[in-house]
Amino acid sequence: MSGVWVVLEEHDGRIGRISWEALAAGHALGAQLGLPVSAIVPGANTDATAAEAATKAVDKVVRIEHPLLAVYTSDAFTLALEQFLRSVTPEYIVFPHTYQVRDYAPALAARFSRVLIGDVTALAAGPVFQRQLLQGRLVGDYRASGPGPHFLSVQSGAFRADQLPSASATIEVFTPQIEPEQMRTKPSAPFRASAQTVDLSSAPLIVSVGRGIKEADNLPLVQELAAALGAELAASRPICDNGWLPIERQIGSSGQTVAPKLYLAVGISGAIQHLVGIKGSQCIVAINKDPDAPIFEVADYGIVGDLFDVVPALTAALKAAQS
Amino acid sequence: MKIIVAIKQVPERDAQVRIDAAGKGIDETDLQWALNESDAYALEEALRLKEANGGEVIVLSAGPERVGSTIREALAKGADRAIHIDVEDLAQRDVFNVAQLLAAAIKPESPDLVLTGLQSDDLGYGQTGVILAELLGLPHASLILHVEKSASGLTVKRELEEGWFQTIDLPTPALLTIQSGGNKLRYATLMGIKKAKTKEQRRIPAADLGVAAAQSVTLDRIALPHKQKSTQLLPGSAKEAAAALVEKLKFEARVL
C-alpha cells in the first residue's frame, strides 16, 4: 500500500479548498513517479468528508477515525498519523500548508527522522520541490533523499484544484490507538478577538500600506490617497502588529482575504503570507523603493520609487483627474 | 521559571541579498545581520514572564562567529546568559539536524519553558520549534501571541487563520513558538548594553554535542523567482509616473 498519500483537512464538516489543491499536487507527483494516489481523512466523524473525497480520482480513501480526533490537538493527530503511516509506508505524504499542519507535520516527520518540505509552490521533474526563501525574494529547489516516507506541504493557490478528475474510490477505516492521557494540551473553542466591523472582502478599491511607511505619523499620506480614490484602507501585518491600524484591516493569511477590482500596495514587500490574501484581486498596483520586492512578481503596474514622493503625486493626479 | 529562548541571526530585512557562486546559498560578504523578527518577540515574551514570575532567561543560538553580535543584543535586552553553539556548516544540515543540535544543548539545562520564534525570515521553514518539542519530549503549541502562568502550567493564546484565536492549556515543561505582534518590543538600554558584557556566554562546539551534520532534504539551488505577471513599470519622476498610472488604471485596466 505504498504510493502518494494526501491528508485532507476538514473545516466545518467540509474539505477546504487548499486540501483539494494538495490533492492536485499529489496527483502531479503520482503521475511523475508512476505511483497511486490516495487520500487520508482524519477526524472523529469522517463519513461525509470521506464520501466527498471518494468522488475524486484517488486509489482509495482512508478514514483515520477516533473520538479523540474530534478537536485538533498536535498529540492526537501526530500519534494517529504516525500509526497509519507505519502501516502503509508511503513514498510521499502531501499536506495542505495550513496553520494546523504547521503545528504537527514537522513533529510527525521528525518521528520518521525526516524533514517536512513545507510551503511548496511548484513541482518539477526529479521530483524537485520549489519553495520561497527570504520572504519571497528568492526561491529554492528542494529534493528529498533516501527512502520514503517523504513529507511535503503545499502552499495555498499553488496548484489547481478545479481540474481534479472525478471517480469513485473505495473507502477504508483505520482506527488509531490513542488514550486521553496522551493528549497533553487542552485547546479551547476558537473565538474572534472582536466583532468584525470592517469587511474588506467586498471592497472594490483597496489602498494597503506596509512597513515602508516607517512611522504611524506618516499614515495620513495613504489615508489621503485612499480618500482621493474612494478606497478602503488596509495594511500588511507589521502595521497592525505595531498597533498603527486595527487588526480588522489586516490583509493576508492571518487577516482578511480580499478580491477588489484594484489593490494598491504602498510600501509592501509582498511576503507570501500577504500575497495569499490578495490573489483574487483584478488589478494589483505596487509602489515600492525596492525593484526586487516580491510584490512586483504579482503586480500589474508598478512604480519603483520613494513612496513619500510617489503617494502625494498620485493623490494629486487622482484629484486632478476627477476635477 | 527557567526559560530558554532559541534565537536565530538572519540577514537584515533591507539588506541587498546576492546568490553565492555555487548557487546554493546567499553571499555573506558585507551582509548585514539582525535578530530574526519572531525570535525578538519570543525573547520579549520570555523577559516579561521573568519579570512577572521570577526566574532566568537563557538565549541559545547556533551559527558561526558572527552570531555573537545577535547574542549580545539579546543579553543587552535583558537575557541573563547565553549559549552559543559554534557551527560553521549550517548549510550542510537540514532543519531536523539543527533541531538536534539545539535539543542536545537544551537537555542538560532542564528548562521549564522553551520559546522559539514562529519562523525564520530567511529560510522560513517554521519547523525548528515543533521538531525541538518532539526531540525533547515536550508538549508544544505554535503561533502563540500571549503566555500566562497558570496553576497547572501555562495558558496561551494561539492565532488561527482569518482572524480567529483559541486558548490552550498545557503543562510545563513545554515549548511554544511565538508569533510576531503579541507584545511591544523593548530596546536595549545603555545600561543593558554595559551589563551584557559581564554576562556568561558559553560556547559549545557543535562537535561536542554529538550531532554529525546530516540532511534528508537538500537545497539544490536557489534562484530569483519567476514573475507570475509581467509588471508594467511606470518610469519617470514621481509626478510623471503617478499621472501615467492614473491613465492606465482608467483606460487600460478600467478599474477607476
For A239-270, how does the pLDDT look when each residue is reduced to its tens digit (9 = 90+)? 998 889 998 899 998 888 999 999 999 999 99
Task: Please report the pLDDT score of residue B15 as a whole number.
Answer: 86
Task: Please report the pLDDT score of residue B125 as a whole number.
Answer: 95
Task: Please report the pLDDT score of residue A194 as a whole number.
Answer: 66
Q: Is the pLDDT of residue A3 over 80?
A: yes
Using CB atoms and an 8 Å cut-off, which of residues 37-76 of chain B contact chain A?
A: none
| CA distance readout (Å), B142 to B10, B43, B52, B157, B196 | 21, 15, 22, 10, 30
Predicted complex ipTM = 0.93
> What percent of chain A stands above pLDDT 90?
83
* Contacts with B123 from chain A: Cβ below 8 Å: 133
How far, rounded to the nearest angstrom, does the alpha carbon of residue A192 sit from its chain's CA centroid? 20
Q: Is the pLDDT of residue A41 over 60?
A: yes
| CA distance readout (Å), B19 to A50, B24, B58 | 45, 7, 34
Task: Please report the pLDDT score of residue B136 as a whole number.
Answer: 98
Cα separation, A98 vs A94, in Å, equals 12
Q: Give the three cell numbers for residue B178.
A: 511565538
Residue of B nearest to A283 (CA): B253
Task: Please report the pLDDT score of residue B230 as a whole number.
Answer: 85
* Contacts with B27 from chain A: Cβ below 8 Å: none
B165 vs A143, A193, A205: nearest CB: A193
Task: Please report the pLDDT score of residue A101 as a whole number.
Answer: 97
Which of A141, A197, A249, A322 has the most B C-beta neighbours within 10 Å, making it the best mutation to test the interface with B? Answer: A141
Tell me if chain A has a CB within 8 Å of the CB of B250: yes
Q: Is the pLDDT of residue B80 over 70?
A: yes
Least reliable range by pLDDT among A50-54, A200-204, B67-71, B123-127: A200-204
Contact B166 A113 (CB under 8 A): no
Q: Is the pLDDT of residue A306 over 80?
A: yes
Tell me if chain A has a CB within 8 Å of the CB of B150: no
For B25-54, how does the pLDDT look when each residue is reduced to its tens digit (9 = 90+)? 999 999 999 999 999 999 999 999 999 999
pLDDT band at B16 (very low <50, low <70, confident <90, very high): confident
B242 vs A237, A262, A317: nearest CB: A317
Task: Please report the pLDDT score of residue B141 as a whole number.
Answer: 98
Contact B169 A301 (CB under 8 A): no
Q: Is the pLDDT of residue A195 over 70?
A: no
Q: For all residues of chain B together, what is the average pLDDT? A: 95
Least reliable range by pLDDT among A161-165, A292-296, B20-24, B60-64: A161-165
Q: Is the pLDDT of residue B13 over 90?
A: no
Q: Give the three cell numbers for residue A52.
A: 466527498
A189 vs B123, B166, B246: nearest CB: B166
Nearest to A270 by CA among A113, A85, A132: A132
Beta A186-187 vs B164-170: how paired, if at all? antiparallel
For A111-156, how does the pLDDT look when each residue is reduced to its tens digit (9 = 90+)? 999 999 999 999 999 999 999 999 888 999 999 998 889 999 999 8
Q: Is the pLDDT of residue A63 over 80?
A: yes
Which of A188, A229, A256 has the most B C-beta neighbours within 10 Å, making it the best mutation to test the interface with B? Answer: A188
Contact A185 B19 (CB under 8 A): no
Task: Please report the pLDDT score of residue A5 as a whole number.
Answer: 98
Q: What is the pTM of this model?
A: 0.91
Q: Is the pLDDT of residue B149 over 70?
A: yes
For A212-245, how does the pLDDT look when each residue is reduced to its tens digit (9 = 90+)? 999 999 999 999 999 999 999 999 999 998 889 9
- B188, amino acid identity: A
B171 vs A184, A193, A316: nearest CB: A184
B139 vs A184, A240, A314: nearest CB: A184
Cα separation, A38 vs A8, in Å, equals 10
pLDDT band at A283 (very low <50, low <70, confident <90, very high): very high
A99 burial (CB, 10 Å; 0-12 / 13-18 / 19+) is: middle
DSSP letter (8 states) at residue B20 = -
Q: Give the residues across from B144 on adjacent strands.
A: B158, B178
Contact A135 B124 (CB under 8 A): yes
- Interface A-B, measured as beta-carbon pairs within 8 A, has a size of 256
Tell me if chain A has a CB within 8 Å of the CB of B12: no
Task: Please report the pLDDT score of residue A196 as a whole number.
Answer: 63
Task: Please report the pLDDT score of residue A1 as a whole number.
Answer: 54
Tell me if chain A has a CB within 8 Å of the CB of B151: no
Given a contact cutoff of 8 angstroms between Cβ atoms, the answer to whether B234 and A301 are in contact is: yes
Contact A190 B160 (CB under 8 A): yes
For B207-254, how does the pLDDT look when each residue is reduced to its tens digit (9 = 90+)? 999 999 999 999 999 998 877 778 999 999 999 999 999 999 999 999
A192 vs B131, B163, B216: nearest CB: B163
A115 vs B121, B165, B216: nearest CB: B216
Contact A257 B162 (CB under 8 A): yes
Identify the top-confidence range among A11-20, B112-121, B161-170: B112-121
Which of B118, B121, B161 has the most A C-beta neighbours within 10 Å, making it the best mutation to test the interface with A? Answer: B161
Q: For all residues of chain A together, what is the average pLDDT? A: 94
